[in-house]
Structure 1
Amino acid sequence: MPIHHPFTHDVVVAGAGPVGLFLACELRLAGVSVVVLEQAADPSSPLKRLPFGMRGLSAPTLEAFDRRDLLNAVEAVQRFNPSTGAAKAASHWAQQPRRPAGHFAGISFFHEDIDTTRWPYRLPSPAGVNLAVDMQALETILAERATALGAEIRRGWGVEGFEQSDDGVAVQTRGERLHGRWLVGCDGGRSLVRKAGGFAFVGTDPEFTGYSVEAELADPDALGPGRTYTATGMYTYARPGVIAMVDFDGGAAHRAQPLTLDHVQAVLRRVSGVEVRLTALKLATTWTDRAFQATEYRRGHVLLAGDAAHIHSPLGGQGLNLGLGDALNLGWKLAAAVRGDAPVGLLDSYGAERRPEGARILDWSRAQVALMRPTPSTRALVTVIRDLIATGDGASYFAEKVWNVALRYDLDADHPLVGRSVPDFAFPDGPSTGERLRDGKALLLDFAPGGPLRSVAQRWGGRMSYAAGQPRDRLGLSAVLVRPDGVVAWLSEIAGDDVGLSQAALRWIGEP
């Protein structure tokens, strides 16, 4: 049955975390009206600030932020302490003889061992391959951008329920009903939208309870610094009192009881094997390695993104990037559906492209858990992985996975660049490719101007930008069609392939 009410918004987004906020930015960039409903009245939280709020951003996220003119703001936060405005201390790696590039289950690999020639379609770009940022600062940046673009953010307005019809969704919140054409659940691992929407959520149960703790120790030198594997689990320690640890209890202690000083101390003693004494517990939270994923990302006019669609342990710092990738992939496709000019199957391609990527990250997380099990066979396997990761091929393999520099969607094309992030082609006399994508439109790069491609691009008017010129390195290409999310949709090595361009535009942009 249709909803017989005027729509208050094109899209209702549940959740004002980074994923929901970035999705709101993408929707507003495309001219779609959006309201973001967030249950928490106050966005600040000690768990979003340092040290527990630190998150790593990988290559696809940094490229997306560069293409939306957000990278400078994110890098500024990384360089300065947002609470004091003072410059941050030099990175820890700067005092080390080798520069860590990432890790797998705590086993580091290093920049000097990585062979970047394995990725021939990556050109120099302002976006690097990894960057650390604290969650609260990132949310502030995204909220400011979403608001500046015209998104409405209502804090203290959680989704309480909804009814879906053939043409929209009626969302219940604080005694009111908002009527949207679409509802997107970005409301976390315990998503109400996912549960109420009837989405199946399947995966593997936890093996451990993880703890993030800030405490005062009677003897701050009682524990060795860094990461330590023990006969019962693993812990990392940074003086004077920041501790992360995993206890292989099958996840039994997660949210099962209050986190008292006595409980945390008992677990720390069991995991570390040291009779450490805590004198004060400042902050403590638990997490697990439960890894679940929705079997579908869309049901009618309801979609899922971020932790609402997939959850896994925070090992390796992949979850935030995975969710932001969902938002980038979904935003322009959902906007096209709202406008009514989306080609057949475009919105369904969101789940088709993002579910396999989510499944890959869940398996990557499970593999790290397997290397952390407190068994003799696991310790032996760690020795093998440590030897492999120290080689050039090993370091390059792990860098490719952790940085996600080889992300490619299956777009049914032979050329290896189709489905990948577009290289940042640099033009001597004009903006770079990244700068040209800041309007959120599809982009045609014509490296052999003077042919028929300009007229093809003009047929799509406001939905496709056109740029002609000779970049410093065009990788042997004559033309490239880039989706609004920065993914190469089509390319040609032959000048003037207007037929191929027209077919690709019809597939990804719709009728002119």
Structure 2
Amino acid sequence: MTSNHDVVVVGAGPTGLMLACELRLAGVDVLVLDRLAEPDLTTKAGSITLPTAAALDRRGLLPDLVAAQERALAQFRAFLATRTGPAAGPRTPPPKFLGHFGALMLDGTLLDESDPAFAGHGPAADVGLVPQQELEALLTARATSLGVEIRRSTPVTAFEPDADGVTISASDERLRAGWLVGCDGGRSEIRKNAGFDFPGTPPQITAWQAVAEMTGTEGLRPGWNRSARGVYAFGPMPGRILVVEFSGSPADRDTPVTPDELQGAIRRVTGVDVTVTGMSSITRFTDNARQATDYRRGRVLLAGDAAHVHSPFGGQGLNLGIGDAVNLGWKLAAVVRGWAPDGLLDTYTAERHPVGARVLAWTRAQIGIMRSDPWADALRDLVADLANTTDGTTYLVKQLSGATIRYPLAGTHPLIGFIAPDLALADGSRLAEHCVDGTGVLVDLTGDPAVRAAAAGYPGRVTLVTTTSTDRPGLAGLLVRPDGVVAWAADRDEPDPAEGLSAALRTWFGAPLSEPAPRRSEPVSVRSR
């Protein structure tokens, strides 16, 4: 028997789950397949960036993020409370968690928070310390609530794309889908079997990240540290240790990590006689850095680590994958629902590939200053001097936080291409709260009849919000894509503020309709505030 679906997503990690949520929100029949019987609970990424927090806020998940961050901070405080001796470090969490660049800890007191890149993001900007395990559990619950079917213990063994879709063999079942999306990680079978080019650079390191029971840790310094033999990070959660050796790739990446292997790496890099007595989480990784030249081949697409791999330093991998999912979800849904303008799906690679390439470059740069040789020492000293200034710290944080991501969209307004500011509106709501149902949002701040007339042709695709705001008083209006990116904006002092709006609507939402054609079974009304 063959079952049919609009989209099959392979991989139930954060990228695959986020993509499935976005597709299902748009009324698409999506099935998620994962080879694992249970979610992978290995400790991985420990934080989310601004674009990720903003994307989840736009879907109504901010309270869940805040709660997850509070749990992470409680663990951080518990870790600090256990520290004694000369390497104890601080006893309270830093005033603002900024992370690190190449194991150089960034000082929150040097950050210029008045920089325009940090302005207008609302309460999402205060969320960052959310571990990947928490985020994955949150997205699993959301996907389930939306009606997404997630099948575990179901590896994809073969697939055959054609002009109209993809035939998929998964376990003992045969599936038919209009589209297949590989979100199945850095060793993606979907990428390999579909024939995507995946050029890049070979690994320089072997690294281990674990949550372990250890004795003799009094000599370990909290945070990121560099020695003559490598790099290690201790904390911010009890038992968490990360160790990096510049020894190239391990001989066999598939061999399970033993306590003796982890203990040996810790002792070599730190010079401290730590004894590992148990492990609740352990992973071994390298800095293999590669990127697919295109994220689409016909009816097969890639997202997340399936499309790009790199070292995890700087906390970019998880967030890069979420960004892919948010960008792809609404575009693929538009194609499935039949209203996508020509070339819409091609903009997925065009917009996300440069972002991925930038992350690969930044992770390679961090490997460069983490090495232990005279050339790396000199470069590291230079970067450290720059980072120890307000301008240097602010620059690094802007890049690491994702606040500077801008897509090359048509239009001259300075907001176009960036994540929309989270405007505080006259009725007490925030702009993010009007994005929950996943449509585009057209905000009219002046009551312009031309804006209302333009929105009338897009029922179910674009929600009109007519209101006022004291934020950005010169702004007349803006069009926000479902992924939160500003596609059109105008100021009040422009001769024709609505100029360019119709073109932007056609570019991103297709031709206007002569009568309502909502994308779900019930009509989506135009709201005025």
TM-score by length of 1: 0.91
Q: Distance in 2 between matches of 1:12 and 1:444?
A: 31
Pairing 1:188–2:179 present: no
Indicate if the aligned counterparts of 2:419 and 2:484 stay in contact, CA closer than 8 A.
Answer: yes
Pairing 1:11–2:11 present: no
TM-aligned CA distance change 1:87 to 1:403, over 3 Å: closer
How far did 1:168 drift? 0.4
Q: Who is 2:67 aligned against?
A: 76
Q: Who is 2:286 aligned against?
A: 288
Which shifted more, 443-452 or 13-22?
Answer: 443-452
Which shifted more, 298-307 or 110-119?
Answer: 110-119
Q: Who is 1:299 aligned against?
A: 297
SS at match of 1:116: coil
How far did 1:131 drift? 1.1
Q: Who is 2:56 aligned against?
A: 65
Q: Distance in 2 between matches of 1:29 and 1:217?
A: 45
TM-aligned CA distance change 1:91 to 1:435, over 3 Å: farther
SS at match of 2:65: helix
Q: Distance in 1 between matches of 2:281 and 2:115?
A: 43
Q: Who is 1:165 aligned against?
A: 162
Deviation track 1:430-471 (CA, whole Å, cap 9, x = no partner) reads 532111111111111111104221011011111111011221
Pairing 1:145–2:156 present: no
Q: Distance in 2 between matches of 1:495 and 1:453?
A: 14
Which of 452, 457, 460 aligns to 2:458? It is 460
Equivalent position amino acid for 2:17 in 1 = L
Q: Who is 2:226 aligned against?
A: 229
Q: Equivalent residues in 2 for 1:366-405 (5 A)? A: 366-405=364-403
TM-aligned CA distance change 1:436 to 1:94, over 3 Å: farther
Indicate if the aligned counterparts of 2:18 and 2:139 stay in contact, CA closer than 8 A.
Answer: yes
Equivalent position amino acid for 1:101 in 2 = L
Which of 228, 246, 262 aligns to 2:244? It is 246
Deviation track 1:50-96 (CA, whole Å, cap 9, x = no partner) reads xx3452111101110110001211221222379xxx99847967826
Q: Who is 1:507 aligned against?
A: 507
How far did 1:121 drift? 7.8
How far did 1:258 drift? 4.3
Indicate if the aligned counterparts of 1:98 and 1:110 stay in contact, CA closer than 8 A.
Answer: no
SS at match of 1:160: strand
Q: Distance in 2 between matches of 1:81 and 1:406?
A: 26
Q: Who is 1:104 aligned against?
A: 101
How far did 1:241 drift? 5.1
Q: Distance in 1 between matches of 2:215 and 2:67?
A: 37
SS at match of 1:179: strand
TM-aligned CA distance change 1:496 to 1:460, over 3 Å: farther
Which of 182, 195, 200 aligns to 1:198? It is 195
TM-aligned CA distance change 1:278 to 1:152, over 3 Å: closer
Which shifted more, 92-101 or 396-405?
Answer: 92-101
Indicate if the aligned counterparts of 2:488 and 2:504 stay in contact, CA closer than 8 A.
Answer: yes
Indicate if the aligned counterparts of 1:121 and 1:417 stay in contact, CA closer than 8 A.
Answer: no
Equivalent position amino acid for 2:266 in 1 = L
Q: Who is 2:258 aligned against?
A: 260
Q: Distance in 1 between matches of 2:510 and 2:248?
A: 49
Indicate if the aligned counterparts of 2:304 and 2:321 stay in contact, CA closer than 8 A.
Answer: yes
How far did 1:29 drift? 0.8
Q: How many pairs does the alignment contain?
A: 500
TM-aligned CA distance change 1:438 to 1:11, over 3 Å: same
How far did 1:374 drift? 0.8
SS at match of 1:303: strand
How far did 1:414 drift? 2.4
Which shifted more, 490-499 or 190-199?
Answer: 490-499
Q: Equivalent residues in 2 for 1:36-47 (5 A)? A: 36-45=32-41, 47=42
Deviation track 1:347-384 (CA, whole Å, cap 9, x = no partner) reads 00000000000000011100000011111221232222
Deviation track 1:278-329 (CA, whole Å, cap 9, x = no partner) reads 4555553210111111111000011000000011111111100000000000
How far did 1:216 drift? 4.6
Q: Structure 1 regions of 5+ residues with no counterpart?
A: none
TM-aligned CA distance change 1:246 to 1:177, over 3 Å: same
Pairwise CA RMSD of aligned residues? Answer: 2.5
Indicate if the aligned counterparts of 2:25 and 2:146 stay in contact, CA closer than 8 A.
Answer: yes
How far did 1:489 drift? 0.5
TM-aligned CA distance change 1:133 to 1:34, over 3 Å: same
Q: Equivalent residues in 2 for 1:298-337 (5 A)? A: 298-337=296-335
Which of 342, 348, 357 aligns to 2:346? It is 348
TM-aligned CA distance change 1:160 to 1:456, over 3 Å: same
Q: Structure 2 regions of 5+ residues with no counterpart?
A: 81-89, 513-529
TM-aligned CA distance change 1:54 to 1:354, over 3 Å: closer
Q: Distance in 2 between matches of 1:37 and 1:258?
A: 25
How far did 1:480 drift? 0.8
Equivalent position amino acid for 1:143 in 2 = T
SS at match of 2:124: coil
Indicate if the aligned counterparts of 1:119 and 1:406 stay in contact, CA closer than 8 A.
Answer: no
Equivalent position amino acid for 1:458 in 2 = A
SS at match of 2:396: helix
Q: Distance in 1 between matches of 2:121 and 2:361?
A: 30
Q: Distance in 1 between matches of 2:342 and 2:45?
A: 40
Q: Who is 1:490 aligned against?
A: 488
Which of 401, 426, 431 aligns to 2:424? It is 426
Indicate if the aligned counterparts of 1:220 and 1:240 stay in contact, CA closer than 8 A.
Answer: no
Equivalent position amino acid for 1:55 in 2 = G
Q: Distance in 2 between matches of 1:185 and 1:400?
A: 30
Pairing 1:35–2:26 present: no
SS at match of 1:337: helix
Which shifted more, 323-332 or 244-253?
Answer: 244-253
How far did 1:184 drift? 0.5
* Percent identity over paired residues: 46
TM-aligned CA distance change 1:460 to 1:276, over 3 Å: closer
SS at match of 2:421: coil
Which shifted more, 429-438 or 234-243?
Answer: 234-243
